[in-house]
Homo-oligomer: A and B are copies of this chain.
Amino acid sequence: MGKQLTELLKGTLEGIVLAILGERPAYGYEITARLREQGFADIAEGTVYAVLVRVEQRGLVYVEKVPSEKGPPRKVYSLNGDGRDYLDEFWRTWSFLAGRLDQLRDGEDR
C-alpha cells in the first residue's frame, strides 16, 4: 500500500500501538514484528520507536528494562491508568470517524 496509508496512519498508529499494549505489555521490536504479522508490512522500525518515545513522554505507559538473551536489554512498555483512559478516548474518536465514513460510502452510489 502506498502513500495514502502513510497519511491515514497519522494519529491511528499511536492508537494501534496503545491497543497492542492494552492486550499485554510488549517491547518495541516485538511490537514492530506483531504489526508486520498483522498486515502492516512496511511500517519502519524507527517509526514504532518514535511512537513509544512519545507515549512515554506523555506518561501513558510504564516502562521497565528487562535483560534479553539475544541482544541489548528490552524496554518493556505497559499501559498505565492514563494510558487506558487515552485508549478509551481513542476508540470513541475512531468510532465517530468510522461511522461518518461508512455513512459517506453508503451514500455514494444512490
Bound: A100/B90 CA distance, A: 15
6 contacts between A and B (CB under 8 A): A2-B89, A4-B89, A19-B108, A20-B104, A23-B107, A38-B100
Q: Is there an interface contact between B104 and A12, defined as CB atoms closer than 8 Å?
A: no
Q: State which residues 83-108 of A face B: CB under 8 Å.
A: 89-91, 93-94, 96-98, 100-101, 103-105, 107-108
- Copies of this protein in the complex: 2
User: Which residue numbers of A lie inside 8 Å of B, CB to CB?
Assistant: 1-2, 4-12, 14-16, 19-20, 22-23, 38-40, 89-91, 93-94, 96-98, 100-101, 103-105, 107-108
Top 6 A-B pairs, shortest CB-CB distance: A7-B11, A10-B10, A8-B11, A4-B93, A19-B104, A5-B93
